[in-house]
Structure 1
Amino acid sequence: MGLLTIIKKQKLKDKELRCLVLGLDNSGKSTVVDWALSTYKDKPRQPVTPTVGFQIHTLPYGGHNIQIWDIGGQSTLRPYWDNYFDKTDVLLWIIDIAAAARVGESVSELEVILRNRDRLGYSCRIIVLLNKKDLVDNPTEAIDAMKQRLDEILKLENIPVEVKATDALSGHGLEELMPTIVGRGKRFGGLESTSGPLG
């Protein structure tokens, strides 16, 4: 293999981003992915069914090829999530804020992942989408409470997390998602914590 071929392959690799989409089942992960594909690849919106296992999509954006890994969120699949952590550049965590009874479960699962940052990688950026805001009676209050809760969990950990309220069906709140994933957009306005381990 010649030097020019190696350099070319490295340049292509440098432009690849791996985005892992996780969250509980029925949080809207596949709907977020479907919105991105329809918006940036002109694919028609599809009826969304629960993801069993995983789906991989490649989305060109801003000179990058973004590999989107949409992983099923059923409780039986969660023990296998860490099999997908290697070489992840961005973790996109989706929370259904309309399902009040499951918000705690979702936050706990995220906390477990963040406690094991050595598996996910310390350079991996975290984006949290508070999805289905259109189904919440007082979305501002619910969103503020959720941000405060995440802040309390992360205050002992040096983990920058960006948080945004969204409605994946309409795409409201997702306008800056892809620029944020490639690191060029306006920050969603997330949480900055100090240092030290969770525990």
Structure 2
Amino acid sequence: MSDLVSQLMRSWTDLMDWLYGMFFQQEMDLSILGLPAAGKTTLVTLISRNEMIEDRIPTRGLNMQKYSKGGVTLKMWDLGGQANFRAMWERYCVGASAIVYVVDAADSEKFALSRSELHDLLSKPSLAGIPLLLLGNKSDLPAAVKSEKELAEIFDLASLKGREVCAYSISARNRTNIDITLQWLIAHSSKKS
């Protein structure tokens, strides 16, 4: 008898989840930013199409992809990282549910510039309060910074006040920590005001 009750409860929960997803779909706008060759487009392609593309042409302007799971649709705006496109970053971050900043964790020569660009962007009053997820990509490479604590120190995340900040070490190529990245993003879909 208890197996029947348990099965009925599971069926009821599944039905309610399905109905909730049908009528209460949430869409989350994400701005995916970072310097050129950090792996932004690779990450977006991996999440949206579940495929890895090795040879990427640098994104000129922007690229938009969607991914849906559990009643949440992530609309990912992959923005070019070249100097002439960085001026557009603020425009695409206003009203975003979260800013995802991707860095090449194996290219320490670009850390100072990347940190400067990130802090400059987040100093804009129009972006106050928007959560930040910093992703140290390419953790599969030997020279990469693999510690989230070290990434947070290098990018001075403690100085970013008035917003939720999180950092993960990932590898889009090896799919390392992509699942926790998606969990963080989906968990923040309900926090959009």
Instruction: Check whether TM > 0.5.
Output: yes
Corresponding residue to 1:72 among 73, 80, 103: 80
Count of residues paired in the alignment: 166
Under a length normalisation based on structure 2, what TM-score does the superposition of the two structures give?
0.77
Take 2:99 and 2:62, find their aligned partners in 1: how far apart are those partners?
A: 15
Q: Partner of 2:167 in structure 1? A: 163
Q: 1:96·1:132 contact (CA, 8 Å) conserved in 2?
A: yes
Shift of residue 181, structure 1, vs aligned partner: 0.5
Corresponding residue to 1:87 among 95, 104, 112: 95
Determine if the alignment matches structure 1 residue 16 to structure 2 residue 22.
no
Q: Which amino acid aligns with 1:179?
A: Q
Q: 1:137 to 1:56 in 2, by over 3 A?
A: closer
Corresponding residue to 1:135 among 124, 141, 161: 141
Mapping for residues 55-66 of structure 1, pairs under 5 Å: 55-66=63-74
Larger Rg: 2
Q: 1:125 to 1:53 in 2, by over 3 A?
A: same
Shift of residue 119, structure 1, vs aligned partner: 1.5
Q: Which amino acid aligns with 1:129?
A: L
Structure 2 residue matching 1:51: 3-state secondary structure? coil
Q: Root-mean-square deviation (CA), in Å?
A: 2.3
Could you tell me which runs of 5 or more consecutive residues in structure 1 were left unpaired when the two chains were aligned: 1-10, 185-199
Q: 1:83 to 1:158 in 2, by over 3 A?
A: closer
Q: Which amino acid aligns with 2:115?
A: V
Give identity over the alignment, percent. 22
Take 1:140 and 1:172, find their aligned partners in 2: how far apart are those partners?
A: 11
Shift of residue 85, structure 1, vs aligned partner: 1.9
Which one has the bigger helix percentage? Answer: 2
Q: 1:21·1:93 contact (CA, 8 Å) conserved in 2?
A: yes
Corresponding residue to 1:119 among 120, 126, 131: 126
Q: 1:63 to 1:156 in 2, by over 3 A?
A: closer
Q: Partner of 1:145 in structure 2? A: 150
Take 1:121 and 1:88, find their aligned partners in 2: how far apart are those partners?
A: 11
Take 1:85 and 1:32, find their aligned partners in 2: how far apart are those partners?
A: 18
Take 1:183 and 1:22, find their aligned partners in 2: how far apart are those partners?
A: 20
Structure 2 residue matching 1:177: 3-state secondary structure? helix
